[in-house]
Amino acid sequence: MVSFHIRPSWFLPESAATPENQYASRRKFLRDLGLGALGLGTASLLPSCSDPEWEHFGNKGGTLFPPDRPGFPAPRNQRFDGSSLQTTPASIATTHNNFYEFSTDQSRVHKLTGLFEIDPWTVEISGLVNKPGHYSIQDLETLVPLEERVYRFRCVEAWSMVLPWTGIPLGKLCEQLEVQPAARYLRLTSFHKPDQAPGFKKMSYYPWPYYESLRLDEAMNELSLLATGIYGHPLPKQNGAPIRLVVPWKYGLKNIKSIVRIEFRKTRSGTFWNALQPQEFSWLSNVDPRIPHPRWSQATEKRIDTGEKQKTLLYNGYGESVQRLYRPK
Ligand code: MTE
């Protein structure tokens, strides 16, 4: 279990995101409860595990990983074998999650995924691509074989982990889908099922669904992965099942979970957090210890499992693979 709690201080202040009338009535709600003056927010109002929400959305002791399917466990790509890195225990990576569709309380997300349906699932591929369509996870895993890679993971909140992902190299998928020469960007969209995840209704002031964007040359980079597994098994729901993006040189917020659509575009699209808080979350969101977040330094990070403080590396240590993408042209 996580032995400490980092205050999720990068959370969007409600005053910035909430339409004024909703914000005002929420402030009144907090005041009525006597909590407003204390500055207590949504997480503090969340009910305990034996409450109706838990009963409704809760996992009720379900298994951690969905059943293995063909392709699992996948062979490890020796270029990314992570032999010099200490992997974060699964018990921590699967119980400390940022997934606002379920909760802003990182320790509660895994308890609220019981109603989330991940099978069947399709990913719509659209836009400037010769092979558009609705692809099942198995279709995608057949197009490009699965492999395992160990990557560092750095959240914008200044904590980090090391995770063994199983997934499809995104660049190889783009080749299989025959992305057209005019394509320059990808827009990736997450699921939007308000009856299956409590955050949609509870935080209706957010512009759901969660969405992200990448440049095509970023997507084609050897590091970019569409993960469908972790720790040698299919992804648990709280980690973004059944398919999520992994771009390890960028802050965690770029790693969009539970993807339902990938659109190849000529023009740049926005991102969920950059649209809400551009001064706090840049469009690129590359890990960069030289650029502090407006409210804290990014020079160091804390390993979520060991509590160890370590220096943050430019591009999270992946400069050799990605720095050429950002050289001035
Ligand atoms: N994707 C969706 N759909 N919703 C989210 O709230 N949070 C992001 C990212 N992808 C998020 C998301 C953030 S802020 C982080 S740090 C990572 O997921 C967390 O991934 P993890 O829970 O597997 O560690």
Render pLDDT for 214-236 as a digit per residue (tens, 0 to 9): 999 999 999 999 999 999 999 99
Range with lowest mean pLDDT among 4-13, 31-40, 100-109: 31-40
Give me the CATH topology for the region 57-326.
Sulfite Oxidase; Chain A, domain 2 (3.90.420)
Q: What is the pLDDT of residues 72-116, one digit of tens each?
A: 999 999 999 988 999 999 999 999 999 999 999 999 999 999 999
Q: Give the mean model confidence (pLDDT) for residues 245-254.
A: 98
Is the separation of the CB atoms in 136 and 128 below 8 Å?
Answer: no
- Rounded to the nearest angstrom, the distance between the alpha carbon of 19 and the centre of ligand 1 is 24
| Ligand 1 contact, 255 CB (< 6 A) | yes
Indicate the average pLDDT of the chain: 86
Is the separation of the CB atoms in 138 and 242 below 8 Å?
Answer: no
Going by alpha carbons, the residue nearest to atom 6 of ligand 1 is 99
- Rounded to the nearest angstrom, the distance between the alpha carbon of 39 and the centre of ligand 1 is 25
Range with lowest mean pLDDT among 21-30, 34-43, 312-321: 34-43
| Ligand 1 contact, 97 CB (< 6 A) | yes
Q: What percent of the chain has pLDDT over 90?
A: 79
- Rounded to the nearest angstrom, the distance between the alpha carbon of 240 and the centre of ligand 1 is 8
| Ligand 1 contact, 197 CB (< 6 A) | no
Give the chain as a 3 state SS string: CCCCCCCCCCCCCHHHHCCHHHHHHHHHHHHHHCCHHHCCCHHHHCCCCCCHHHHHHCCCCCCCCCCCCCCCCCCECHHHCCCCCCCCCHHHHCCCCCECCCECCCCCHHHCCCCCCCCCCEEEEEECECCCEEEEHHHHHHHCCCEEEEEEEECCCCEEEEEEEEEEEHHHHHHHHCECCCCCEEEEEECCCCCCCCHHHHCCCCCCCCEEEEEHHHHCCCCCEEEEEECCEECCHHHCCCCEEECCCECHHHCCCCEEEEEEECCCCCCHHHHHCCCCCCCCCECCCCCCECCECCCEEEECCCCCEEECCHHHHCHHHHHHHHCCC
Q: What is the pLDDT of residue 37?
A: 30
Q: How buried is 211 (Cβ within 10 angstroms: 0-12 exposed, 13-18 middle, 19+ buried)? A: buried
Going by alpha carbons, the residue nearest to atom 17 of ligand 1 is 252
Give 192-196's long-range contacts (Cβ < 8 A, gap of 24+): 192/260, 193/116, 193/117, 195/115, 196/57, 196/115, 196/116, 196/117
Q: Give the mean model confidence (pLDDT) for residues 289-301.
A: 97
Q: What is the pLDDT of residue 52?
A: 64
Going by alpha carbons, the residue nearest to atom 3 of ligand 1 is 257
Q: What is the pLDDT of residue 27?
A: 36
Sequence ranges of the domains in the chain: 57-326
Is the separation of the CB atoms in 257 and 227 below 8 Å?
Answer: no
Q: Give 152's contacts (C-beta < 8 A, 6+ positions apart).
A: 85, 160, 161, 162, 248, 316, 317, 318
Residue 143 identity? L
- Rounded to an integer, what distance in angstroms lies between the CA atom of residue 59 and that of residue 265? 38
CA R_g for the chain: 19
Is the separation of the CB atoms in 270 and 127 below 8 Å?
Answer: no
Q: Give the mean model confidence (pLDDT) for residues 262-271.
A: 98
Q: Give 81's contacts (C-beta < 8 A, 6+ positions apart).
A: 150
| Ligand 1 contact, 160 CB (< 6 A) | no
Tell me the pLDDT band of 62, cut-offs 50, 70 and 90.
low
Atom of ligand 1 nearest to the CA of 93: 24
Atom of ligand 1 nearest to the CA of 245: 10
Token pair recorded at residue 3: 């032995």
- Rounded to the nearest angstrom, the distance between the alpha carbon of 98 and the centre of ligand 1 is 4
Q: What is the pLDDT of residue 54?
A: 67
Q: Is the pLDDT of residue 181 over 90?
A: yes
Q: Is the pLDDT of residue 41 over 90?
A: no
Q: Is the pLDDT of residue 323 over 90?
A: yes
